[in-house]
Amino acid sequence: MRKEFFIYGVILFILSLAAHFLFKTSLLIALFIFFLLIIGFFNSRQHKHTILRNFPVLGYFRYMFEEIAPEIQQYFIERTTDGKPFSRNERSLAYRRAKNVSDTTPFGTQLDINNSSYEGLKHSIFPTKVNPELPRVMIGGEDCKQPYSASLLNISAMSFGSLSENAIVALNKGAQKGNFYHNTGEGGLTEYHLQGADVCWQIGTGYFGCRDDRGDFDGGKFAEKANFPEVKMIELKLSQGAKPGHGGVLPAAKNTEEIAKIRGVLPHIEILSPPSHSAFDSPKGLVQFIARLRELSNGKPVGFKLCIGQTEEFEAICQEMMDQNCYPDFITVDGAEGGTGAAPLEFSDGVGMPLEPALIFVNKTLIRLNIRDKMRIICSGKIISGHAILKAIALGADLCNSARGFMFSLGCIQALRCNTNKCPVGVATQDRMLEKGLVVSDKFERVYNFHKNTLHAANELLAAAGKSNYEEVDVSIFMRGDEFTHLSDLYFPNNLTNVTTHLKKKEGY
């Protein structure tokens, strides 16, 4: 193609010059062709891009289409039930609830409900009255001096740095109005998180906001901020679903002077949090560190967040809790399908346990060890609807966190550019021009609406199942595929024994 480009290019250039001299046509056409020939010459001489070397000038169209491929996919190809991580229907649901407009859909479901993967709620023909009050859950064990009454749905961990200043402020103001908590993410507790809402301060492996000059944990700095009145809970992050075992990633483009000062790092370089904590390296050290954080925060609820990997490690932590008679006030279980601003593909796609089996495992382990009543289980990982909340409760959670759901309420369009600093709606960027597009006074109301309407939908589903409160919810209210395939059967096939025995007797086997 390189040879043809120059042959036809030179011919067109000569013809355009001839047309100019003979017919007085514009010389701009010839100059434009000559300009393309010059670009093509340099394309064919460079060594970095094979496409441009073999297809001078024309190769740029490949890069242009690659750049807009996500938009073409989303706006012209994607069906309403398509789209990953969230379908168009799921995103539209979040948008409508955030805008406080009708969230109804016409003409019936578009899902294949005869598929074995279908999950449905087993409704009651005697539904209860829908509770207008939004549910709350008390967090705080025996050693907690300042228990906290949390909403059933809260904002999951998203750092200032990953998200813009305006996004953080809008989330916090929305949480203040709706009386639910805002998790800071591991990027540190900042002034943008202190706009009046309740805060769960997350401490990651980088100890941002409470680290010394060497990057280790600084108890004095931690105690100072942990005792702010806005800080209601402390969450120690061991791992997260999108990149368990890797540590947080802040791209250099997002690491501004302000963010570097908050985190205590150098600006304009990629920040990689360590994969593990320097303050402890064993279950014993973890439990001791939890006790230390509780003491430094004057008895505020302290817990840890993890994505389940090697199950025996979680069991070892539980055993250490019992040995030391020291229990966290909550455990946050993150599924491998959880979100992140930046992660290696291998970690996002191939590391960690999904939320459903992880929740079942954690809940069953705590019950088996007779310590389930000593702590709450919080879950995160694609919690975006009332159905998702009820399902999480059924699998063992006490309350839920959502990150991407609240991002949608801010106007996120799932452009999948969180790691490039080019978020087109000003949510996941530090570009001031893009950030200005996110108007806090409008978006914080949408954050509030999304929370209120989603929990109201959960209350409606609860009533449809004939239940009066969330303590009555268990896996038996869900069916998978058909009436005899319960959600629990996916992980506990023995539950089908009685059913199959009954069917054999009925058929005369």
The pLDDT value given to residue 99: 94
Beta bridge partners of 202: 235
> What CA–CA distance (Å, rounded) separates 12 from 24?
16
Q: What is the mean pLDDT of residues 123-127?
A: 93
| Domain boundaries for CATH 3.20.20.70 within the chain | 136-473
Contact, 485 vs 448, CB < 8 A?
no
Query: What are the tens digits of pLDDT across the range 424-462?
Result: 899 999 999 999 999 999 999 999 999 999 999 999 999
Task: Burial-class residue 293 by CB neighbours within 10 Å (0-12, 13-18, 19+).
Answer: buried
Q: Is the pLDDT of residue 503 over 50?
A: no
In CATH terms, is domain 136-473 a member of 3.90.1300.10? Answer: no
Query: Mind giving me the DSSP string for 336-399?
Result: TT---SS--HHHHHHSS--HHHHHHHHHHHHHHTT-GGGSEEEEESS--SHHHHHHHHHHT-SE
Q: Per the structure block, which two tokens stand in for 235? A: 């969450």
* Rounded-to-integer distance, Cα 154 and Cα 442, Å: 20
Whole-angstrom distance, CA of residue 201 vs CA of residue 188? 8
Query: What does the alpha-carbon distance between residue 435 and residue 148 come to, in Å, rounded to a whole number?
Result: 33
Nearest to 200 by CA among 305, 339, 336: 305
Question: What is the pTM (predicted TM-score) of this model?
Answer: 0.84
Cα–Cα distances (Å) from 235 to 19, 185, 254, 293, 408, in that order, read: 74, 9, 24, 10, 24
Q: Which residue has the higher pLDDT, 127 or 83?
A: 127
Q: Whole-angstrom Cα distance, residue 129 to residue 444?
A: 30
| pLDDT for the residue numbered 238 | 94
Give the least confident one: 63-77, 232-246, 447-461: 63-77
Question: What is each CA distance from 221 to 228, 234, 301, 430, 440, in whole angstroms?
Answer: 12, 14, 18, 26, 30
Q: What percent of the chain has pLDDT over 70?
A: 94
pLDDT classification of 502: cutoffs 50, 70, 90: very low
pLDDT at 182: 98
